[in-house]
Structures are given as C-alpha cells and as structure tokens.
Amino acid sequence: MSVLLVAMHGCLCSLAAAPATAPVPVILDTDIGDDIDDTWALMMLLGSPQVDLKLIVTAFSDTPKKTRLVAKMLEKVNRTDIPIGTGVKTKDAAINQEKWLGDYTLDGYPGTVHEDGVAAMIAMINEAPEPIVLLVIGPQTNIKEALKRDPGIAEKARFVSMAGSVEMGYNGKPGRSAEWNVRADVEAARAVFAAPWDITFAPLDSCGTLILKGERYKTVDTSQNLKAITVMENYRDWSNRKHHPADTSSVLFDTAAAYLTFDESLCEMKTIALSIDEKGNTVPDDNGRPVHCAMDWKDRGAFEDLLVKALTADKDD
C-alpha cells in the first residue's frame, strides 16, 4: 500500500469508525428493481438520521424504468426533495418489481430527475463542501463512466459498496464466490480499484446471511410507517417472493453497505489487499488494492435492531 493510500485510509476510516455527529452526505448508486434488498437499503437510508441522502442514481439494465420505480417510492414516502438521476442503460429489460411499478410515469412528478445521472453524480461530488460518500449497491458501471469523464472525483469521495467475497460465499458457504455486483461488470470493478479513493466493502462474508426473522420481521411487516409499508408492498409484489418463507425477509445484502456509510462499530473490519480476476472473484493478493472489508459482525442483533428502527420508528413521514 502506498504512503498516500495509507494516510488516506487511516484518516477516512477513523472518521467512518464511529457514528457521525452530523448526517453523512451520501450519493446512492443502485440497481434497484432487481433484487429486493436495494429497496430495503433505500428505505433504511431514508429512515437513518445519520444520513443526508443527496442523490439517487439508477444503475444497470433498464435504468429509465428503474428511475420511475425510485420516483414512485419517493412519492410514496414524501421524499421527492431528493434528486434522482438515470444511469447508464445496458439493455431493455423487465424489472422484478413491475407489478408494484404498474403504469406509473414521471408525468407530474414533483421532484428533480436528471436524464444524465452520471453527470449529476460528478457535479454533486465536485460541488460538495466536504468529501461525500458514494454508496454503490449494484454493478459499478456508472462509476466506471464517471471516472472516465472525471478521474478527479476519486479524490473527493469515499467509496462504499456491497461487493465481493473474500472467505465466505453466498448463503454462508465457506469459500469464495464470484459476487454478482463484481462479476456483472468486471471492468467497471477494476476501474474502481484503480482509482485513488478509500474503498469500503460489505462482502458476502458479513452480509450473505442477513435475513430478518421473528419479531423483527413482524415489526416491519405490521408497521404503519410509510417506509415499512413501501418495503413490504414491494416485497410482496417482487417476482421472487415465492422463493422465500412467508415470515422472513430475503437476504438483505445491501443494508450492510448502507450501514457502513455512517458507522462500522458493529462490524469486524479488516483491511485486505484484493485483486479482481477475470471471473469477478475478489482475491487476496499482496500486490492488490487495499480494501476495508466488513468480514463479520460484532453484534448482528444490534444491526438488525437499527435496521428495524430506521424503517418503523414513529415520526412524521
């Protein structure tokens, strides 16, 4: 690790290691509409007073359709004050929340929607009075394009992502998996690694078995908070809902990364030098890129309680 990266990592991670006294400015880059965990993560961010969500950019596949999905959600929870940006479209495709989206359009939407979400992201990073957190919970396609247009953004942001697998794979299986957000666009992930920002990952090691069950799930399911209602409506209408028990969530991978934008104290953190192979594996490598990884939980129950509170706490919506 270079002296510059060591200094940058030590400074930024010391700030991230304790809860912030003021809300942390965050840009969310999300492939929402595929797995349902993005929806949980978005609503968690909206319910976390530790976070000041500045911009939401849709990522991967049919991004214009995903922008409509985000807009409907923000309208549902009365948060159309947050700008939305449409990211790089990679294909025309159905999303897994088509049923909930319905025939919703942006006609009459009261908030700001940027057709070029990458440009909006770059502008916000450059104009921010303090370093901003770029939270990426999907394939990193938009970030590759942003770095191509303006490499300097990496000196003005901290990169946090649900990405990778170091020692544990999907469903807690020992051994490394080629995690989706990396393998879906390997070159984009490598571009992120090549940039000189501080990188924090929630890999499968810590987030691959995050499932809400029992009273915690019931609390969200029965809550009258608009964020919880929006999560549960989308979960019920999600095309993969039938593959999960009636009284639990699916795996909520992205909520771990959302947490890491403002705190790390509930996690076992380890800095690991990683490289990315051609299949999208994040492989420990002495010559690799230092990445601050949440490898396990110190108190997973406390995290789950925090997630439930963010979605259900009684307050004006």
In tens, the pLDDT along 136-188 reads 999 999 999 999 999 999 999 999 999 999 999 999 999 999 999 999 999 99
| pLDDT given at position 235 | 98
Tell me the C-alpha to C-alpha distance, in Å, between residue 246 and each of 19, 213, 221, 232.
34, 10, 11, 12
Contacts of 10 (CB under 8 A, 6+ apart): none
Given a cut of 70, is residue 299 above it in pLDDT?
A: yes
Torsion 7-12-17-22 (CA) sign? positive
Q: Is the pLDDT of residue 9 over 90?
A: no
Mean pLDDT of 214-236: 98
pLDDT tens per residue across span 79-130 = 999 999 999 999 999 999 999 999 999 999 999 999 999 999 999 999 999 9
What's the chain's average pLDDT?
94
What pLDDT shows up at residue 227?
Answer: 98
Both tokens of 64, joined, read: 């214009």
Q: Which long-range contacts (CB under 8 A, 24 or more apart) does 167-173 make?
A: 167/205, 167/295, 168/203, 168/204, 168/205, 168/208, 169/204, 169/208, 170/204, 170/208, 171/208, 171/209, 171/251, 172/208, 172/209
213 CB-near residues (< 8 Å, 6+ apart): 247, 248, 249
The pLDDT of residue 1: 44
**pLDDT tens digits, residue range 267-295?**
999 999 999 999 999 999 999 999 999 99
Distance CA 210, CA 57 (A): 24
Q: Tally Cβ neighbours within 10 Å of residue 264.
A: 19
Q: What H or E segment, with its residue span, contains residue 294?
A: strand 289-297
Q: Which residues contact 171 (CB under 8 A, 6 or more apart)?
A: 208, 209, 251
* Res 60: pLDDT: 98
Q: What is the per-residue pLDDT for 8?
A: 44
What are 237-276's pLDDT values in tens digits?
A: 999 999 999 999 999 999 999 999 999 999 999 999 999 9
Q: What is the pLDDT of residue 174?
A: 95
pLDDT of 21: 79
**d(C-alpha 69, C-alpha 34), whole Å:** 11
- How many Å apart are CA 69 and CA 219, to the nearest integer? 25
- Burial (CB count within 10 angstroms: exposed 0-12, middle 13-18, buried 19+), residue 67: buried
What's the number of CA atoms in the CB half-sphere (13 Å) around residue 72? Answer: 22
**Per-residue pLDDT at 20 exceeds 90:** no
Distances 119 to 57, 88, 202, 225 between C-alpha atoms, Å:
10, 11, 26, 34
Residue 130 confidence (pLDDT): 94
39-83: pLDDT as tens digits: 999 999 999 999 999 999 999 999 999 999 999 999 999 999 999
Q: What DSSP character marks residue 23?
A: P
Domain boundaries, the chain: 3-269+280-312
pTM of the model: 0.93
pLDDT higher than 60, residue 4: no
Which ranges of the chain would DSSP assign to H, the alpha helix? 3-16, 37-46, 63-76, 98-101, 117-127, 141-149, 180-183, 186-194, 204-207, 214-222, 226-237, 253-260, 300-312
Per the model's pLDDT, the better-predicted residue between 107 and 18 turns out to be 107
The architecture that CATH gives domain 3-269+280-312 is Alpha-Beta Complex (3.90)
pLDDT band at residue 315, thresholds of 50, 70 and 90? Answer: low
